[in-house]
Amino acid sequence: MSRAEDAVVVKNIYYMMAYAFRAIDIADFKRLEVESFGNVLDLLAAILAAGLDAQRRRGFEREYQLREEDLMRVRGRIGMTETMRLRMRQRRELHCVFDERTEDTYKNRVLRTTALYLLRAPEVDTSRKRDLKRSLGLMQDVCLLDPQRIAWGSMRYHRNNRSYQFLMSVCYLVLHELLLRDEEGNARLADVLNGEALHRLYEKFILEYFRKHWNWLDPAAREIDRGIGDTEPDFLPRMLTDVTLTNGGKRLIIDAKCYGTILGTHFDKEILSPGNVNQIFSYVMHAAASFGGEVSGMLLYAKTEGAELESESWSELGHAYHVRTLDLNQDCAGIAAQLDAVAGLLG
């Protein structure tokens, strides 16, 4: 995959993240659509700069933190033991313990640490560094972290700080998983069409896209009842769909795939993965048993380099099945059009 193709794929990673986390207004990043980027790190710097600017306008997260300070006036409560020690040294201050609302939160520390890392990176364009510095100028009181010791799993999100989930994911891409160094020390992108993290992102992106633009189809990651009842053995895996769309008496079950090759070879014949086909077949047949209408299934693959399969359909045991590829190597409008066509199958 060429550098230019890498950049397009990564552009669409931030597009997918914005939907998956439902945290950032896509308009905040519209200007990135028309910009060119020399490398992955330069692109991620532009994304973080735009995100920081958007967060600056919203207001950076603040939290109350316990502070202790020697003051001339009472603030909070007085620490008697420490105040007596000050008196013994003939000092007139009071040792005060109080809560202070500050922007020096853990998430803001991650933001500043990542932004400073990008400022030192030679791959990042000067204009991007200038944008980062503008936002960093308002974060002077925020401490830095050791990038190797960031507790990514400890951060919690709620309605008031949901936009940080997107920003933390960008920071994670910069500092951790997708960025590697080659033998010359240059930043490069790992094979982004592999990896469990990207597969989960792809699944959630598709679900949240339909939730935002096709909410009347009741998009959901539904669990299918096997119909066994109380005698179901514990060792049977859950039948949890990636996306289920319902329009009256029609239901479409989508199984999203963002790894591996689409067509394999068996006795010199190109075939779909039997495991994937069997999975969607099982989902449809079990779902049909409890749904009073028409149930169909789809394997929705992320298009891989060299893949010729675009769209195919067939009928089996009274149910329609589809296999389609979603081309992430195009602009966002093209991706949206392909997903809209999928929803259009429910008429």
Question: Mind listing the pLDDT tens digit for each residue in 123-139?
Answer: 888 988 998 998 888 88
Q: What is the pLDDT of residues 276-319, one digit of tens each?
A: 899 999 999 999 998 989 999 999 988 866 556 678 899 999 99
Q: What is the pLDDT of residues 179-219, one digit of tens each?
A: 555 555 555 544 443 466 677 888 889 999 999 899 999 99
Q: Which residues, 6+ apart, have CB-to-CB distance to 44 below 8 Å?
A: 10, 118, 170, 173, 174, 179
Euclidean distance between CA atoms 193 and 338, whole angstroms: 19
β-pairing, 243-247 vs 187-189, is: unpaired
Residue position matching structure tokens 């240059």:
186
Write the CATH number for 262: 3.40.1350
Q: Examine the domain organization and report whether 211 and 284 are in the same domain.
A: yes
Domain boundary (102, 131, 151) is at 102
Contact 62, 164 (CB under 8 A): no
- Could you give the number of structural domains in the chain? 3
Burial class (CB in 10 A: 0-12, 13-18, 19+), 1: middle
Q: Is the pTM of this model over 0.75?
A: no
Pair of tokens at residue 16: 């997918």
Q: Examine the domain organization and report whether 21 and 69 are in the same domain.
A: no
Q: Which residues, 6+ apart, have CB-to-CB distance to 326 below 8 Å?
A: 206, 300, 301, 302, 303, 335, 338, 339
Q: Examine the domain organization and report whether 177 and 201 are in the same domain.
A: no
Domain range spanning residue 251? 196-346
Per-residue confidence (pLDDT) for residue 199, from 0 to 100? 79
Q: Examine the domain organization and report whether 315 and 205 are in the same domain.
A: yes
